Amino acid sequence: MKNATKHADDLKALYKKLTRDHKAPPKEPQAAVKALVRAAMSYDVADGRAEEAMKAIDKEFVDLNELRVATDLEIQELLGTKYPAIEKRVSTITLSLNNIFEREHTLNLERLKEISKRDARQFLRELPDVHPFIEAYVMLMSFDGHAFPIDDDKLSAVLFRAQEISRYVVDGIIDCGLTGHDWVVENGNEKDVVEICELEYSRASTNPIRWVLAVPEESAVHKAEDLEGKIVATELVNTTRKYFESKGIKVAVEFSWGTTEIKARLLDGIVDCTETGSSLKANNLRIVDTLLRSTTRFIASKSAWETSWKREKMENMAMLFQGAMAAKAKVGLKMNVPKDKQSEIASFLPAEKSPTVSQLNDPAWVAMEVILEEKQERELIPRLKRAGATGIITYPLNKVIP
């Protein structure tokens, strides 16, 4: 036990040293007033278009104070009357800049970093005509606040721990949420929530995580029954207790507040989650059994699911989530193909249905476009080139909806 304690202390010291020596560089916050202007140009608009608008503002005005005293009409003409809701956006910018100047006697909100985030958020809410998206954007980008800039008036978001989400859904505190299947099971909420969809992703891969019973390599424990009368530590207490009870094994299950791998040598065993098994191997631990496999689930409360507009909204979100997941491992491919080679090339092209074919200006050529697995790209492109395709390009995809 003495050696085990020293081993645990050494691991803790090493972990602290590694995290201290290899910290990621801190994210440089945006100046709050500049972030406010950017946010006003961004909601309900594509990022590229908002970026072009900001470049035009930076080029035309010496600083934000010159923007503040410009007329709304001048700014509208600069950005173009076809920019979505341009009058509303420009009005919000000029009113907000003037309000900040009147209250702070400067166009600088650095003072807000010295007060609480709640008070900073309240300051932003008191600006005239400020959309919730703008408030959240500034809090996130300038004050490192837990905020979600969402430009959908029917949605609001809040950050909870995965362990809490299914309980809050059941209690009606939130309508829906993303959480692990493991925590739905642990909280006993499987029959109390609606599972809208499964999203197969985790921290390092698309593999499910596993909750496993593990012991030190040198342990005499080789099956769950060998832990009769012993102590096991885990964060997944209820599920672990049910596992041993189902086997008729009397085990003391203790809650672990983290660094569970270290406790495997201080107690008799642990139940911990693993994705690749690398952490267990690094701690010289051996898997005895798997209790549960888990992936991310999009869940909803039954009452929200029975509300038609909420259900439609959640179904739409699920479709987009799954589309983003499907696009992650795919690319789009475009090329020009001689018409007399079209059938040959089409025969070995992977596609959802069939390749999209468009006639080019030259009647002897067509353009072909397909979606394919990213791993297929490196083998397919040389084959296409040899078959006569030219102008081959590939591009990433945001979403693929079947």
- Residue pLDDT, tens place only, 104-134: 999 999 999 999 999 999 999 999 989 999 9
Residue 37 pLDDT greater than 50, yes or no: yes
What confidence score (pLDDT) does residue 97 get? 97
Question: Is residue 52 scored above 70 in pLDDT?
Answer: yes
Pinpoint the residues of the chain covered by CATH 1.10.340.30.
Answer: 32-143
Q: Give yes or no for residue 351 having a pLDDT over 90.
A: no
**102, two tokens:** 């009147």
Q: Where in the chain is the domain with CATH 3.40.190.10?
A: 209-294
Give CA separation, 247 vs 227, 238, 291, in Å: 11, 15, 12
**Residues with Cβ within 8 Å of residue 5, at least 6 apart in sequence:** 266
**CATH 3.30.70.120 spans which residues of the chain?**
329-396
Mean pLDDT for 49-61 is 95
Average pLDDT over residues 350-370: 89
Please report, rounded to a whole number, the percentage of residues in the chain having pLDDT higher than 90.
75
Query: Phi and psi at residue 49, in whole multiples of 5°?
Result: -70, -40
Residue 258 has pLDDT above 90, yes or no: no
| Strand 365-373 with 330-338, pairing | antiparallel
* Element containing residue 54 per DSSP (H, E): helix 47-60
Task: Specify the pLDDT at position 1.
Answer: 43
pLDDT tens profile 294-323: 999 999 999 999 999 999 999 999 999 999
Q: Measured between alpha carbons, how far is 163 from 184 in angstroms, rounded to an integer?
A: 8
Integer angstrom CA distances of residue 356 from 4, 82, 173, 370, 377: 64, 32, 46, 7, 17
Q: What is the mean pLDDT of residues 95-110?
A: 95
147-182 b/e (C-beta count within 10 Å ≥ 16 → b): bebebeeeeeeeeeeeeebbbbbbeeebbbbebbbb
Options 3.40.50.720, 3.40.50.1110, 3.30.1370.10, 3.30.70.120; CATH for 329-396 is 3.30.70.120
What whole-number distance in Å separates Cα of residue 162 and Cα of residue 167?
Answer: 10
The helix or strand, by DSSP H or E, that contains position 312, with its residue range, turns out to be helix 308-327
pLDDT value at 2 more than 50: no
Over residues 222-236, the mean pLDDT reads 96
**HSE (side-chain half, CA atoms, 13 Å) at 372:** 21
Q: List phi, psi (to 5°) of 351.
A: -160, 155
Confidence of residue 328 (pLDDT cuts 50, 70, 90): confident
What percentage of the chain carries pLDDT values higher than 70? 92
Q: Which two tokens stand for residue 5?
A: 């304690």
Mean pLDDT, all residues of the chain:
91
CA dihedral 9, 14, 16, 20 (to 10 degrees): 160
Q: What integer is the mean pLDDT of 72-81? A: 94
Residue 214: which of 261, 282, 266 has the closest Cα?
A: 261
CA distance 384 to 377: 10
Can you tell me the distance from the alpha carbon of 162 to that of 335, in angstroms, rounded to the nearest whole number?
44
What's the average model confidence in pLDDT over 32-46?
Answer: 95
3-class SS of residue 128: coil
Which residue in 328, 329, 368, 363 sits closest to 351, CA to CA?
368
* SS3 at position 351: coil
Residue 12 has pLDDT above 60, yes or no: no
Q: Are strands 296-301 and 231-234 parallel, antiparallel or unpaired?
A: unpaired
Please tell me the predicted confidence (pLDDT) of residue 313. 97
pTM: predicted TM-score of the whole model, two decimal places: 0.79
What's the CATH class of domain 32-143? mainly alpha
Does the pLDDT value for residue 343 go beyond 50? yes
**Of 68 and 11, the one with more pLDDT:** 68
Q: What pLDDT is recorded for position 277?
A: 83
- The band of 77, judged by pLDDT with boundaries at 50, 70 and 90, is very high
Nearest-angstrom CA–CA distance, 398 and 265 = 46
pLDDT of residue 16: 57
User: Hey, what CATH topology would domain 209-294 get?
Assistant: D-Maltodextrin-Binding Protein; domain 2 (3.40.190)
Mean pLDDT of 369-393: 93
CA distance 122 to 399: 36
